Chains A and B, each alone.
Chain A
């Protein structure tokens, strides 16, 4: 059974600080990794995609991937109240099926 593990939170971070979200996955053949943001009652919205080991930066967001450790993370710098949401770790298997984690609830404290 392919699994994705995330700390469910809530993770509370002061406004302006760095939020760090972590994820481990069990499917070794996963090659593509996505982070989606989901506001309550809304659909997943793509934040970052990462395909190679290392870091990828896009604005305030940095994704980190370590395939050997089956670990992917997301850093959010200068956290804003609008970043308060559930963040979904989403490895994509060879069959193009996304196995979502349960998500980490992030709460940015004003």
Chain B
């Protein structure tokens, strides 16, 4: 069964460093998302991406964050200058073979720890 994959599974970085989290969405999906979950808190929407541009973004997704689909398979989240409060689990999701409002399937997540 097709699934969303994410790399790395864990990432430790120093405050102020740049990190890139990578995702491979399900191959025929058209819509891509990033969510995050701070330990003990709820899953929060960061950004959605369709047709090579951002569709929606939350207040969390400030200028330090960017997303890119550099090729036909990868979808990346970059945090330019990490802060302690960026420590969280980051989930990629994908959906939509024929339109919007379809089920979003989540990857296994990348656990980011900022020291």
Contacts and interface: CB of A to CB of B under 8 A. Distances in A.
B75 interface: no
Interface string B78-104: 000000000001010001000011111
A25 interface: no
A101 B44 CA distance: 9
Nearest to A97: B45
Interface in B31-62: 31, 33, 35, 41-45, 48, 55-56, 58
B45 A99 contact: yes
Contacts, number: 55
Please classify the interface of chain A as helix (H, G, I), strand (E, B), loop, or mixed, using the class held by over half of its residues.
Answer: loop
A43 interface: yes
B107 interface: yes
Select the residue from B45, B56, B89, B102 with max chain A CB neighbours within 10 A.
B45
